[in-house]
Chains A and B, each alone.
Chain A
Amino acid sequence: MSEPVLSVRDLRVEFVTRRGILKAIDGVSFDIAKGEVLGVVGESGAGKSVTGSAVIGLIDPPGRIAGGEVRLGGQRIDNLSPEAMRRVRGKRIGMIFQDPLTSLNPLYRVGEQLVETIQTHTNLSNAGARKRAIELLAEVGIPAPERRIDGYPHEFSGGMRQRVVIALALCAEPELIIADEPTTALDVSVQAQIISLLKRLGREHGTAIMLVTHDMGVIAETADRVAVMYSGRIAEIGPVRQVVQTPLHPYAKGLMGAIPTLVQSSDDRLVQIPGSMPRLSAIPPGCPFHPRCPHAWDRCSRDRPDPIQHAEHRVACHLYDANDPTAKAHMIHTHAPLEEGVAS
């Protein structure tokens, strides 16, 4: 396999507050290959958005990157100067956020913003850049781009704005696109359009995409691999089909069972994980999931689980530690569906 586009190793992000240091990201490692879509999924507070911000060097004080490495195409980028990082962000990493209006200047025509971005990264003439902008708008599926290019952002609907933002992110032909909840603000019918657009662009341009979202459905539709985050760590990472259909980590299992779907019988109760994700100020020792875990034993509250390779998954759970006899005893249960195990 060739070198990954993005390689993150043992990334740590901390927030310094008066009540102590909060570990928002605590040792996260993953790779994204060329043309691959990595879904990063988790509930609010899991650290998925912070991970995205850390990769593009957008952690503002009181936050700071406290350790680890981020490599883009083999080059370390986590220790670049803010100026150099800004160039990397514009040129080599494209960004798509939840609210398209944060990325678009309401006072400028869409075309002006596209042309300006294209010209900062290429030496195209005005006419050439405009031609390229129209091509991009056409590529992201905006009808009549020759006419729409002179519109202002407020003249576009929500879905169309998000398409413009995607076109903007594509201007510099980046190696990596970070999309943070790109479909969350959109209606279901529009969401599906944006998902398929992202998927197609990743395939055609060979762009690596890091797709951060809380929506497992979007991940299942779009991603090649998925990382499930919990309390600032990756609980499980693996090919999307395996993780969604046969998750290993008890949290991932609970999460998949908790999602109401269009196929299961509506008489079934949803699997529920008791409690909620701990606040950053109160992350329990050992495995952060152990207070909510139906399989936890004493080791889980003591030792922090390291990621273990298990078939195609990497899972941070003591259950899959082949050398632990207690884990073996527990494994028998885990092959039964988790289901009501947690409900009383």
Chain B
Amino acid sequence: MHAPVPAPAAPPKGRLARFLDSDLFYSFRTSPMAILAGTVAALMTLAALLAGLLAPQNAFDPAALNLMDGYTKPLEQGLGSQGLFVLGADAQGRDILSAILFGSRLSLVVGVASVAFSLVLGVGLGLLAGYVGGRIEALIMRIADIQLSFPAILIALLVFGVARGLIPPHRHEEMAVVVLIIAIGLSNWAQYARTVRASTLVEKNKDYVQAARLLGISPLPVMLKHLLPNVAGPVLVIATINLALAIIEEATLSYLGVGVPATQPSLGTLIRFGQQYLFSGEWWILLFPALALVLLALSINLLGDWLRDALNPKLR
């Protein structure tokens, strides 16, 4: 009937093969900065996740501490336990290395969870605003505008304060991490909503969405199955950069003393404790947690920068 059509030229590739051959992976392979940042971020994440196995000491267990080890200098043996303290110990004899490992685990958990929370909220609202339009769009986007005109940390403080007022005092400790995640998450959703709305406005007029509407597919499946995969790219970049910001935001809140309780120190809490010793000579109590925070946030941020450039066809 019609001209013979050649058989498919190349067999379809598997997922891994496609990834290894993709422009994205190529761009990663050829960018020393991305490889370095990726390695540092991956190693720190891995070490934090395996804190229970790697740490010489369970830093949160008061029974594991020996007051005689207090103020041990880096690379010296503690007087009490006779163990080696690579990064030194604080006043209670807590090993700084262990504290950093456990602390960055908490920082990462709070960071990832709050980013996930704001991602779901922001992407959902952005999709809704872009696809439905009208008053719903106007309402969502004006709230986003108002929120964006305040610094994120202020919003987080506000949410944190309101939440503490609502939760009975005896549950403050156990709920602290959840409240922190929600507070940071709520302070960051607006960016996602804006970005997603903008790409949704472009995508929803493309013919593949029209073709789906023609089949009578209702709005929710159209948004989730057709639009979401196509607007996710730029969001991923923001999420990566925001992960670094969320970790810093958590550290700031904990530094201010409104974050996680002292019994579960995060990197921010460690820095708060450490600063009292800044002028008394015990510099390691402050320096190493601060360095860990900088290294973690910087490597994730650089990774996000690289991802943004790699996904932006104009810069290539």
- Interface residues in chain A, defined as those with a beta carbon under 8 Å from any beta carbon in chain B: 18, 272-275, 282, 291, 342-344
Contact of B6 among A18, A275, A344 (CB under 8 A): A275
- Please tell me if the beta carbons of A18 and B4 are within 8 angstroms of each other in the complex: no
Contacts of A342 in B (CB 8 A): 3
* B2 & A344 in contact (Cβ 8 Å cutoff): yes
Instruction: Answer whether residue B5 sits at the interface, using C-beta atoms and an 8 A cutoff.
Output: yes
CB distance from A252 to the nearest CB of B (A): 18
Q: How far is the CA of A344 from the CA of B5 in the complex (A)?
A: 10
- Measured CB to CB, the nearest residue on chain A to B10 is A282
Q: Name the residue of chain A whose CB is nearest to the CB of B27.
A: A18
CB distance from B6 to the nearest CB of A (A): 6
Nearest Cβ on chain A to B198's Cβ, whole angstroms:
23
Q: Tell whether B26 is near chain A: CB-to-CB under 8 Å.
A: yes
Check B53 for interface membership: any CB of A closer than 8 A: no
Contact A18 B2 (CB under 8 A): no
Interface status of B1 (Cβ within 8 A of chain A): yes
- 7 more A-B residue pairs beyond the given contacts A272-B2, A291-B6, with a C-beta to C-beta distance below 8 A: A18-B26, A274-B4, A274-B5, A275-B3, A343-B3, A344-B1, A344-B4
Rounded to whole angstroms, the CA-CA distance of A274 and B3 in the bound complex is 6
A181 to B1, CA, bound (A): 35
Number of interface residues of B (CB under 8 A): 8
Give the residue name and chain of the B residue nearest to A342 (CB).
B3
Shortest CB–CB separation between residue B19 and chain A, in angstroms? 16
Distance of B245 from chain A, by nearest CB (Å): 33
Q: How far is the CB of B20 from chain A (nearest CB, A)?
A: 13
B28 to nearest A CB, angstroms? Answer: 13
What A residues does B6 contact at CB under 8 A? 274-275, 291
**In B1-53, which residues have CB < 8 Å from any A CB?**
1-6, 9, 26
A343 to nearest B CB, angstroms? 5
- Give the complex CA separation of A342 and B4 in angstroms: 9
Q: Is the CB of B3 within 8 A of A272?
A: yes
Task: Give the interface SS of chain B, mostly helix, strand, loop or mixed.
Answer: loop
**Closest residue on chain A to residue B6 by CB atoms:** A275
Roughly how many angstroms separate A341 CA and B5 CA in the complex, as a whole number? Answer: 15
Q: What chain A residues lie within 8 Å of B2 (beta carbons)? A: 272, 343-344
Instruction: Tell me the complex Cα distance, A274–B6, Å.
Output: 9
Distance from A272 Cβ to chain B, minimum over Cβ atoms (Å)? 6
A333 to B204, CA, bound (A): 52
Contact call A344/B3, Cβ cutoff below 8 A: yes
20 contacts between A and B (CB under 8 A): A18-B26, A272-B2, A272-B3, A273-B3, A274-B3, A274-B4, A274-B5, A274-B6, A275-B3, A275-B5, A275-B6, A282-B9, A291-B6, A342-B3, A343-B2, A343-B3, A344-B1, A344-B2, A344-B3, A344-B4
Chain A residues near B3 (CB-CB < 8 A): 272-275, 342-344
Report the nearest A residue to B1, measured CB to CB. A344
- Which residues of chain B come closer than 8 Å to A18, judged between CB atoms? 26
Query: What is the distance, in angstroms, from B1's C-beta to the closest C-beta of chain A?
Result: 7
Complex Cα distance, B2 from A274, in Å, reads: 9
Shortest beta-carbon distance, B2 to chain A, in Å?
Answer: 7
Closest Cβ of chain A to B24, distance in Å, is 12
Q: How far is the CA of A275 from the CA of B7 in the complex (A)?
A: 11
Residues on B with C-beta less than 8 A from A273 are 3
For A282, give the chain B residue with the smallest CB separation: B9
Name the residue of chain A whose CB is nearest to the CB of B2: A343
Nearest residue (CB) in B for A291 is B6
Nearest chain A residue, comparing its CB with the CB of B4: A344
Cα(A342)–Cα(B9), bound, Å:
20
Chain A residue contacts of B9, Cβ below 8 A: 282
Q: Which residues of B contact A282 (CB under 8 A)?
A: 9
Cα A197 to Cα B6 in complex, Å, equals 44
Q: Which parts of B228-263 form the interface with A (CB within 8 Å)?
A: none
Please give me the 6 A-B residue pairs with the lowest Cβ-Cβ distance, nearest first.
Answer: A274-B3, A344-B4, A343-B3, A272-B3, A18-B26, A342-B3
With the chains together, A342 CA to B5 CA distance in Å? Answer: 11
Q: Across the two chains, which residue of chain B brings its CB closest to A279? A: B9
Q: Nearest Cβ in chain B — how far from A254, in angstroms?
A: 11
Residue of A nearest to B26 (CB): A18
With the chains together, A282 CA to B6 CA distance in Å?
15
**What chain B residues lie within 8 Å of A344 (beta carbons)?**
1-4
User: What's the least CB distance linking B11 to chain A, in Å?
Assistant: 15
Q: How far is the CA of A291 from the CA of B5 in the complex (A)?
A: 11
Shortest Cβ gap from A281 to chain B (Å): 11
Closest Cβ of chain B to A270, distance in Å, is 11
Q: Please give, as numbers and ranges, the residues of chain B lying within 8 Å of A343 by CB-CB distance.
A: 2-3
Q: Which residue of A has the minimal Cβ distance to B21?
A: A19
- Per-residue CB contact flags for chain B residues 161-201 toward chain A (1 = under 8 Å, else 0) read 00000000000000000000000000000000000000000
Q: How far is the CA of A291 from the CA of B6 in the complex (A)?
A: 10
How far is the CB of A340 from the nearest CB of chain B, in Å? 10
Q: Would you give the shortest CB distance from B219 to chain A, in whole angstroms?
A: 35
**Chain B 258-297: CB-based contact to A (< 8 A → 1; otherwise 0):** 0000000000000000000000000000000000000000
Docked Cα-Cα span, A273 to B2, in Å, equals 11
Residues of A within 8 A of B1 (CB): 344
A284 to chain B, nearest CB (A): 12
